[in-house]
């Protein structure tokens, strides 16, 4: 009774997968594991991209457009004052706020660009690891299929050598069937994941382009010159009433002493 109770759940668990394992051998089990890992990675990539990918919302677009027309403190304050949780999880918002405040603080353009490049890379970095996993699966699946093909052909020739050249078609069909099954499974697994990897890479490049476009529009906006940075704005002249000229300078003191002598 205990053995039957333990074997029944295992048989029911491997029931849908057992025919595939029987057809493809141990390589098919590895391909199934890769397929499950790739599917979980793709679901994670879709969910994280929908929630945490940088996106142009209406308020960010209006703030950047208003900043280009009149750059002042009200635009970063307007972006920071939003109360929507959906808007707050957008990583483009704090990046735009930092760029505007850095420009208003008159920081060096080179330091601003370096800091923005570092922060932009951190925003897109969580999407690079799933992309690498999907690319590895797309590259490994055909190689594993080829490995299954070689193992199946080895099994077929082993049966032929054991029969001393008189092997029947039924003895050879098992190894050949395993070889063709693993090859087909590897290609079926590799083709969609290669397409997913290409689509993910395209999305990452598009997000990077959008980030660069938004930040360049912010940091290249001409700010109004301050009093300390405007050399053409001179200090107001001080009028000295007639007969009350100052004698503080050394030249004037020397003239007064010479006149007294």
- Asked whether residue 3 is domain-assigned, the answer is no
Cβ atoms of 54 and 119 closer than 8 Å: no
Confidence of residue 5 (pLDDT cuts 50, 70, 90): very low
Number of domains, the chain: 1
- Asked whether residue 206 is domain-assigned, the answer is yes
Nearest residue to 119 via CA among 100, 99, 149: 99
- Asked whether residue 188 is domain-assigned, the answer is yes
- What pLDDT does residue 103 have? 92
Taking residues 243-258, report their average pLDDT.
48
- Asked whether residue 13 is domain-assigned, the answer is no
- Asked whether residue 10 is domain-assigned, the answer is no
Write the DSSP symbol of residue 164.
Answer: T
- Asked whether residue 9 is domain-assigned, the answer is no
Write the DSSP symbol of residue 221.
Answer: S
Q: What is the pLDDT of residues 211-243, one digit of tens each?
A: 999 999 999 998 887 644 444 444 444 444 444
Residue 42 has pLDDT above 90, yes or no: yes
Residue 117 has pLDDT above 60, yes or no: yes
Distance CA 223, CA 217 (A): 12
Please state, rounded to an integer, the average pLDDT across all residues of the chain. Answer: 79
- Asked whether residue 11 is domain-assigned, the answer is no
Confidence of residue 27 (pLDDT cuts 50, 70, 90): confident
C-alpha triplet 119, 125, 128: angle, nearest 5°: 155
Which one has a higher pLDDT value, 4 or 57?
Answer: 57
- Asked whether residue 93 is domain-assigned, the answer is yes
* Residue numbers of the domain that contains 69: 18-261
Taking residues 196-210, report their average pLDDT.
93
Instruction: Quote the percentage of the chain above a pLDDT of 90.
Output: 42
């Amino acid at each position: 009774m205990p053995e039957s109770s333990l074997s029944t759940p295992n048989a029911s668990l491997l029931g849908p997968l057992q025919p595939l394992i029987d057809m493809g051998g141990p390589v098919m089990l590895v391909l199934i594991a890769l397929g499950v890992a790739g599917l979980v990675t793709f679901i994670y990539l879709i969910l994280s991209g929908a929630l945490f990918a940088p996106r142009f919302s209406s308020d960010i677009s209006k703030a950047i457009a208003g900043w280009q027309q009149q750059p002042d403190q009200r635009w970063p304050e307007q972006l920071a004052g939003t109360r929507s949780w959906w808007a707050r999880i957008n990583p483009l918002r704090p990046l735009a706020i930092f760029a505007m405040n850095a420009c208003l603080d008159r920081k060096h353009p080179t330091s601003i660009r370096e800091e923005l490049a570092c922060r932009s890379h951190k925003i897109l970095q969580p999407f690079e690891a799933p992309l690498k996993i999907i690319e590895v699966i797309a590259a490994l699946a055909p190689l594993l299929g080829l490995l299954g093909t070689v193992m199946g052909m080895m099994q077929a020739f082993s049966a032929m050598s054991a029969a001393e050249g008189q092997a029947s078609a039924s003895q050879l069909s098992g190894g050949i069937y395993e070889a063709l099954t693993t090859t087909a499974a590897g290609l079926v697994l590799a083709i969609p994941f290669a397409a997913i990897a290409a689509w993910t890479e395209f999305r990452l490049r598009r997000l990077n382009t959008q980030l660069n476009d938004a930040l360049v529009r912010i940091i290249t906006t001409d700010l109004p010159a301050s009093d300390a940075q405007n050399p053409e704005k001179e200090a107001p002249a001080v009028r000295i009433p007639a007969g009350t000229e100052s004698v503080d300078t050394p030249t004037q003191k020397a003239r007064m002493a010479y006149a007294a002598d």
